[in-house]
Structure 1
Amino acid sequence: MNYCMEDLALGLSAEYRKTITETDVVLFAGISGDNNPMHIDEEYAVKTRFEGRIAHGMLSASLISTVIGTRLPGAGAIYMGQNLKFLKPVKIGDTVTALVTVLELFQEKQRVRLMTECWVRGEKVIDGDALVWVPRRPQ
């Protein structure tokens, strides 16, 4: 669904859910250039405190962008800023739910502040907030 500024209300929320695959991690490493062995080398990663590879934090965070650009607010929304706190690792095979909730509306500037979270098995793995510009309803 696409929302215009006039359609938004405090507490309105939307989500997107995706299971992180081996292919996702390899492609993200290739696109981003982040070849940290924590993400791509099981032999290295198994010796760390995570006891195995973890997905890139920004891969999981990118699911927040999916919600903002396609569901809430949706088409035409423009990211202006994002704060993120990575709380727990995401592993290959985990299903991540990105949840976005309207926190504050700035009607005169066509902006909205959104709570942005990612969850895995009922545990919050990313916490944050975003500022987004939202188009008005066409006249």
Structure 2
Amino acid sequence: MLDNSPRGTICIEDIEIGMTRSLRKIITDRDIELFAEVSTDRNPVHLDDAYAQDTIFEGRIAHGMLTAGLVSAVIGEQLPGHGTVYLGQNLKFLGPVRPGDMVLAEVEVTEIDHAKRRVKMDTRCIVNDKKVLVGDATVLAPSRKFD
């Protein structure tokens, strides 16, 4: 399940401190399998139930970067949206995401440098009201002046 939040572009001229955007997605076995295929990360903690039972997670978990990719989706599709260039991302993983979990990925604008078109945002992913990922991102936002 992917929610249908507005997609498109918010230009630097219209971005404000405190703006937030988000998406919700249920992580499926297929998502994990596809991410393993694309990334070539086939760590059995993601793919093998028996193996994963004997880890600190006591079961399979999604790749951390799959979860982080949801933050990228919010930035690239909603805030700022289409035309955004990712400049940097800091991440801290706080807990596992399991198949079947509903992840809420959120971004919130914290700083704007209009002259350089740079936007800094707090980023987070939440499962069952618990933060599983936190961080911040810096992006180059699109501008109407360069359309």
Give yes or no for the alignment of 1:52 onto 2:44. Answer: no
SS at match of 2:72: helix
1:130 corresponding residue in structure 2: 137
2:119 corresponding residue in structure 1: 112
Corresponding pairs, count: 139
Give yes or no for the alignment of 1:77 onto 2:106. Answer: no
Tell me how far 1:136 sits from its aligned partner: 1.2
Residue ranges of structure 2 left out of the alignment (5+ in a row) = 1-6
Q: CA RMSD in A?
A: 0.9
Residue 11 (structure 1) aligned to one of 7, 12, 18: 18
TM-score, normalisation: structure 1: 0.97
Tell me how far 1:135 sits from its aligned partner: 1.5
Instruction: Give the Cα–Cα distance (whole angstroms) in 2 for the partners of residues 66 and 48 of structure 1.
Output: 30
1:63 corresponding residue in structure 2: 70
SS at match of 1:81: strand
Taking only the aligned residue pairs, the percentage that are identical comes to 52
Residues 62-104 of structure 1 deviation map (CA, whole Å, 9 limit, x = unaligned): 0001000111111111100000000000000001010000000
Instruction: Give the Cα–Cα distance (whole angstroms) in 2 for the partners of residues 19 and 136 of structure 1.
Output: 33
Tell me how far 1:9 sits from its aligned partner: 0.4
TM-score, normalisation: structure 2: 0.92
Residue ranges of structure 1 left out of the alignment (5+ in a row) = none
Give yes or no for the alignment of 1:38 onto 2:56. Answer: no
